[in-house]
Amino acid sequence: MRSYIIGREYECERLADCIDSNQSQLIIVYGRRRIGKTFLINEYFNQRFAFNITGAYNQSKDIQLRNFTSELIRTTGKKWNLPKNWAQAFEYLRTYLEECDTQEKQIVFFDEMPWLDTPKSDFLPSFEWFWNNWGAAQHNLVFIVCGSASSWLDEKFSENKGGLFSRQTCRLYLRPFTLHETESFLQSHNIMWSRYEIAECYMIMGGIPYYLNALNGRYSLSQNIDRLFFAPRGEFWDEFDHLYKTLFSNSNLYRQIAEALGSKRGGLSRSELCKITGISDNGALTKALHNLIASDFVRIARSYGKKTKDARYQLSDHYSLFYFRFIKDHEGKDPHFWSNSTDLPSRRSWEGLAFESLCFEHIPQIKHKLGISGVLSEESVWNTTGNEELGFRGAQIDLLIDRRDRIIDICEIKYSMDEFAIDKAYDLVLRNKVSAFRYESKTKKSLQIVLITTYGLKRNMYSGIAQNQVMLDDLFHS
């Protein structure tokens, strides 16, 4: 394994287990585009494959087969005729692998396999036959399937009811880096920013290695963002269109859903989403939401005390959220927009929403700080319209941690450039939230207020209302 793989300890351990096994291995590696799937496999195996091929986006079966043949010729040094179909192509692959050393592990890597499965190509049935009829019985064969279209991999492998049912031996889902991993990645590239800057970078790009790799340590964070996103024809000027088109076949539907979810801080219920977008509440919407969730673009925010069908959908992809807020309608305007936007109200509003999303992605770190890592819990959101007769107003709780030890943490998330100070007005807001939640939830559990902030809570006559606090540094815990 190459020493400069950042994070991915679990994935590397599982790959090692597969290599050490005396049985054939069918490994599925998936995760959203730009997450580093290909990099992980290439670096872990040092690109020492018996055979590998990468699917070509939006290309015909004939071109895919031509590429396959070219790679086979390059790998073997032999002349191979262009196969008539995928069944013949896999026969070629079997013939070649049977000639390889049976005492050595033969690593085969099919990258972006969903792109190889073009309409009416019979790619998947041919692969099923290859694997079931021969591959599964080869004790030295490690076959790695990789793809960004997580929904395709789920459907064709994990949920397969035919020839590939239960055939996978290892499934690795790569998620975005945590803050800790992002900091390690940046430091490995000689980028020594403060944790406040790293958090802001994360709120723009998420923990996506491809985006982080484009940062340049010679520039400040603001200069990097201007250079990549707002400069004329900057490196990521067309990233959004490319990202959605290569991931989702009906990209306009997915963009419409993402934009609607990004417009509401607390997300939308399914019915609200349909009302805002005009999208029919049917199977196509169900599939789109499933695929967006599977690709880490959308999260389900459970509402405390409500059924699953009442859950809210939130846009969780940081880059998409940033795109809709600042990039979509910006083309041709200020090339130094981010450097000049420090005091814009729209930026303040975005920071609050993006920091909330960041916190939801670091629940384990929050629980570690609270000393409850080993305590089972359920996380949710909550809101009420209030009840004037009972004396409490409408309220919203950013994050509820309902713990098995009969305590509920009411978490308030505040993004601030300095210590956060609770004043008289905000003290009343917090007390109203506790009262409203206590009444409407009918809970008998103890309620604790937790402030999650960037630089902590400023001590004053009102700070005692918070029983605990979590700071930005705590979210960097490994």
Average pLDDT on 383-402 reads 87
* CA angle 131–136–142, rounded 5-degree value: 90
Q: How far is CA 247 from the centre of its chain?
A: 13
How far is it, in rounded angstroms, from Cα 330 to Cα 326?
7
Q: At what angle do helices 270-277 and 283-294 cross, to 10 degrees?
A: 110
Under the banding of pLDDT at 50, 70 and 90, the label for residue 160 is low
- Could you tell me which residues come within 8 angstroms of residue 219 by beta carbon, excluding any fewer than 6 positions away? 227
Question: Average pLDDT of 285-309?
Answer: 89
Q: How confident is the model at residue 306 (pLDDT cuts 50, 70, 90)?
A: confident
User: Of 254, 235, 471, whose CA–CA distance to 369 is shortest?
Assistant: 471
- pLDDT at position 163 is 62
| pLDDT tier for residue 333 given thresholds of 50, 70 and 90 | confident
Asked whether the predicted pLDDT for residue 77 surpasses 60, the reply is yes
What CATH class has 239-330?
A: mainly alpha
169: tokens are 């031996």
Percent of the chain at pLDDT > 70 equals 97
- Sequence-distant (6+) residues with CB within 8 A of 128 are 162, 163, 164
Instruction: Retrieve residue 67's tokens.
Output: 């590429």
Enumerate the CATH 3.40.50.300 domain ranges in the chain, comma separated: 9-173
- The CA distances from residue 362 to 28, 147, 171, 205, 413, in Å, are 26, 26, 23, 16, 12
* pLDDT surpasses 90 at 42: yes
Which among 128, 184, 160, 133 has a CA at the least distance from the CA of 9?
184
Place of tokens 């923990």: 207
- What's the distance, CA 164 to chain centroid? 26
> Quick one: average pLDDT of 433-451?
95
Q: How far apart are CA 475 and CA 478, in angstroms?
A: 8
208: tokens are: 């996506």
Q: For the residues 464-472, what does the mean pLDDT come to?
A: 96
Q: What is the mean pLDDT of residues 376-396?
A: 87
The pLDDT value given to residue 412: 97
- Single out the residue of 215, 134, 226, 158 nearest to residue 182, CA to CA: 215
What's the CA gap between 204 and 403, in Å, rounded? 31
Average pLDDT over residues 14-24: 94
pLDDT score recorded for residue 339 = 95
What's residue 247's pLDDT? 85
* Structure confidence at residue 411 (pLDDT): 97
As a whole number, mean pLDDT of residues 95-119 equals 94
With a cut of 50, say whether residue 1 has pLDDT above it.
no
CB atoms under 10 Å from CB of 374, counted, come to 8
Is the model's pLDDT at 102 over the cut of 50? Answer: yes
User: Is 228 a residue whose pLDDT tops 80?
Assistant: yes
**Average pLDDT taken over every residue of the chain:** 92
Is the pTM higher than 0.85? The answer reads yes
Q: Say if residue 278's pLDDT is above 60.
A: yes
What is the DSSP-derived secondary structure letter of residue 267? Answer: -
Query: What top-level class would CATH report for the domain 9-173?
Result: alpha beta
Confidence band for 305, pLDDT divided at 50, 70 and 90: confident
Instruction: Report the distance separating Cα 145 and Cα 117, nearest Å.
Output: 12
Distance between CA atoms of residues 234 and 35, nearest Å: 21
170-173 and 25-30 strand pairing: parallel
Asked if residue 2 has pLDDT above 60, the reply is: no
Q: Which of 23-32, 68-77, 223-232, 263-272 has the lowest mean pLDDT?
A: 263-272
CATH 3.40.190.170 corresponds to the domain 362-476: no
Residue 307's pLDDT band (cuts 50, 70, 90): confident
Report strand pairing: 377-387 vs 392-403.
antiparallel
User: What pLDDT, on the 0 to 100 scale, is given for residue 151?
Assistant: 75
Location of structure tokens 């979509």: 328
